[in-house]
Amino acid sequence: MPLLAEAAAPNLRGSRSRGRSINAAVSGKVIRHAMSAGGVVYRKRDGHTEVVLVARPAHGLWALPKGTPEAGESVQQTALREVTEETGLLVEIETEIGAIRYRYGIHSENILVQKVVHHFLMRPIGGDIADHDHEYDVVDWVDIHEAAGRLSYANERNIVEKAAELLVRRRGLADLREAGA
């Protein structure tokens, strides 16, 4: 799977930045393709599933941890590094959840950014949320059923819902295995 939708196009020109973007001139606008990666980190606690959210409460922002690649990183490496930096947790990837796509404008530069964010289901294998970087003010474990109510963006709520479905399916398969089916 490519990091970006980088199919050859006749108008491709320009630079690659830290976010691995490609600029294409279209109708006088510049379209930049960008990629980020992150995940839904979960744990089981007292019979409940919790996930990690990052926040800037003063701005009303609650989100999933994610970020842009450094030179030479794969999507998975980016997700692992960014989640570790933003949460303070050492994590491992269990499976891919899916990707979200959205657009936003940088009007002062006449740029339209088309972004894809890859999300993975992750579990912590060490670290502590107290050791998160300073990109976010708050990093917190939240019950998975409450997470959707806190997240600022609908597309991230959908990712958490997909993560919950994956976990339920896994639990169902584990229950079948334990029952000898």
SS3 label, residue 9:
coil
d(CA 75, CA 44): 26
pTM over 0.85: no
d(CA 138, CA 163): 22
On the question of pLDDT at 177 being above 90, the answer is: no
Sorted by where each starts, the structural domains of the chain and their CATH numbers stand as 12-178 (3.90.79.10)
> pLDDT of 42-84, one tens digit each?
999 998 999 999 999 999 999 999 999 999 999 999 999 999 9
The answer to whether the CB of 116 falls within 8 A of the CB of 32 is: no
Of 178, 175, 173, 168, which is closest to residue 44 (Cα–Cα)?
Answer: 168
Instruction: List, in order, residues 6 or more apart from 178 with CB less than 8 Å away.
Output: none
